[in-house]
Amino acid sequence: MSNRRKRLVSVLALLTMTAGLFAGVAGCKKDESGNTGGAKDTIVIATMSETPSLTNNEHNAVAGGYMNLLTYEGLLRRGMDMKPEPCLAESYEAISDTEWEFKIRKGVKFHTGEEMTVEDVKASLDWAQNFPLIKTSTENIKQVDIVDDETIKITTFEPCAIILDNLTGTSNAIVPKKLIDEGNNFNENPIGTGPYVFKEWKMGDSLTFEAFEDYWDGEPKIKNMIWKIIPEGSSRTIALEAGEIDFIVEVEQMDIDRLQSNDEIEVYQYEATDYNYLQMNHEYGALGNQLVRHAINAAINKENVVTVAANNLGTPVKSQTPMNLIGCSEENADDYDVEKAQQYLAESGVDPSTINFSIICSNDMKKRAGEVIQADLKKIGISCTLESMDLATYLSATTEGNYSACIGGYNTTDQLIYCKGLFHSESIGGSNRARLADPKVDELIEEAMVTLDADERQKIVEELNAYLNELCVHIPLWQPIALRAYNAKLKGVEINAVGNLYFQNCYWEE
């Protein structure tokens, strides 16, 4: 085990022993004793970024994913152990290397009150094929057939190692065929089978949901849900402490000690697959030069980035993919070495004084990371500026390639899904914001995708990772220790490594 892996494990173990979870009771007033009183039928959740869309297929933003888990569901979902588990399909089985059959759960209702049928399932999976931003989750499906009134068969183009993982995401959510045919605007009217029904969106301020009374797995115990958009981390902390909100999705790392010392607040920490990096557009000037990227990589002190940006709640990384996903490799990766960075620049033939680019930062943490990067690059003669931008604008600009660099992040459940999304040429215009188009990368990803033997697939993925490090596609920065914060009276909180929290399982302590 590498020193970085050991450090992550030890830090996580220490933090897990010294902390728990937290939220506040929304809509409730404190009595004279200071205790929270009133009805426990509401939860107010604070998040730093507003979703760009309430659809399940016209975005790939984490902020949108939180909303999607409330209103939409797929045939499968991601369990707390990160494995696919039945959701709208009550069971499934492989009938060949390219064919899977799914038994559809009976009695499931849409928010319209109509019962879900196999026709809805087929129509939804076929419809999902039309959206480029989610194509990494849909493109392996060749055909969807109705076998009988309760059975769907999905056929892939070739053996697919990640087909079940793809079906756990809301990209392949099941929605009413009738609404698809009518051209329903799912951004304004996000109808699914999920535990909560969308009620109102006040742009720039809040989104409101209500528990779905006919939810197939039982009506959620917390009836009303409000998501407040609070971009500034310290403001989220203050609101939680004051009882104005109940749950913080993105905890301000600089406030962690203060939150942990509050007996009424719990801080939940977990080893996530989140991964933060300096993303560079390979079509922008000198950033397309592999040696220049290596120079930038070697010049940045990742330890300082973690200290300044994340208050040491994270682990510096060297590899191009998350270290807690199978197949990660540090072969060909750069260490922090300013002298080596200068050698890379000399070999590149590019005058560092001519390298000038802007780094987009969509939140305070990224801005702090950008400040460290800016100072480090100045030492080797490279100039960069920091540009603040809201999430929706940032996603649009980087997806379309209208940028030079940004502090990016990616969260995934599987190494292959990660690599397909960030590095395959078919993902340009989606999550491949580096706009990388490398035939060898594509070939290795495609080979791994059709290799069903786990050991053989891991060998291919390790070779791929070593090659990605050689290309230095982006600049690895750190993997955070993920945090959630909320009132200690909120129970049933459980979060998996990809950050899924099923709020339908939460309830207020009596």
Tell me which of 422 and 40 has the higher pLDDT. 422
Tell me which of 439 and 40 has the higher pLDDT. 439
Tell me which of 491 and 3 has the higher pLDDT. 491
Per-residue confidence band for 407, with pLDDT thresholds at 50, 70 and 90? very high
What pLDDT digit, counting tens, does each position of 191-246 carry? Answer: 999 999 999 999 999 999 999 999 999 999 999 999 999 999 999 999 999 999 99
Task: Supply the pLDDT for residue 29.
Answer: 36
For residue 349, which of 289, 283, 284, 297 has the smallest C-alpha distance?
289
pTM of the entire structure?
0.73
* R_g over Cα of the chain: 23
Whether 194 contacts 502, CB under 8 Å: no
Counting residues of the chain whose pLDDT is more than 70, the rounded percentage is 92
Structure tokens at 8: 């992550």
Whether 162 contacts 461, CB under 8 Å: no
The Cα 206–Cα 220 span in angstroms is: 21
Q: What is the average pLDDT value for the chain, to the nearest integer? A: 90
What pLDDT digit, counting tens, does each position of 294-306 carry? Answer: 999 999 999 999 9
The Cα 458–Cα 461 span in angstroms is: 5
Displacement of CA 509 from its chain's centroid (Å): 30
For 24-38, 256-270, 326-340, 475-489, which range has the lowest pLDDT when averaged over its residues? Answer: 24-38
Per-residue confidence band for 8, with pLDDT thresholds at 50, 70 and 90? very low
Task: Supply the pLDDT for residue 39.
Answer: 47
Could you tell me where the DSSP H helices lie in 59-206?
62-71, 118-127, 135-138, 163-166, 177-182
The Cα 149–Cα 158 span in angstroms is: 26
Task: Supply the pLDDT for residue 32.
Answer: 34
Whether 398 contacts 338, CB under 8 Å: no
Mean predicted confidence (pLDDT) in 285-297 = 97
The Cα 2–Cα 188 span in angstroms is: 48
Residues in the chain, how many?
510
Question: Does residue 18 carry a pLDDT above 90?
Answer: no
What pLDDT digit, counting tens, does each position of 138-189 carry? Answer: 989 999 999 999 999 999 999 999 999 999 989 999 999 999 999 999 999 9
Task: Supply the pLDDT for residue 392.
Answer: 85
For residue 199, which of 217, 230, 223 has the smallest C-alpha distance?
223
**Which position has the token pair 């200690």?**
488
Residue type, 174: I
For 32-41, 70-79, 356-365, 395-404, which range has the lowest pLDDT when averaged over its residues? Answer: 32-41
The Cα 301–Cα 294 span in angstroms is: 13
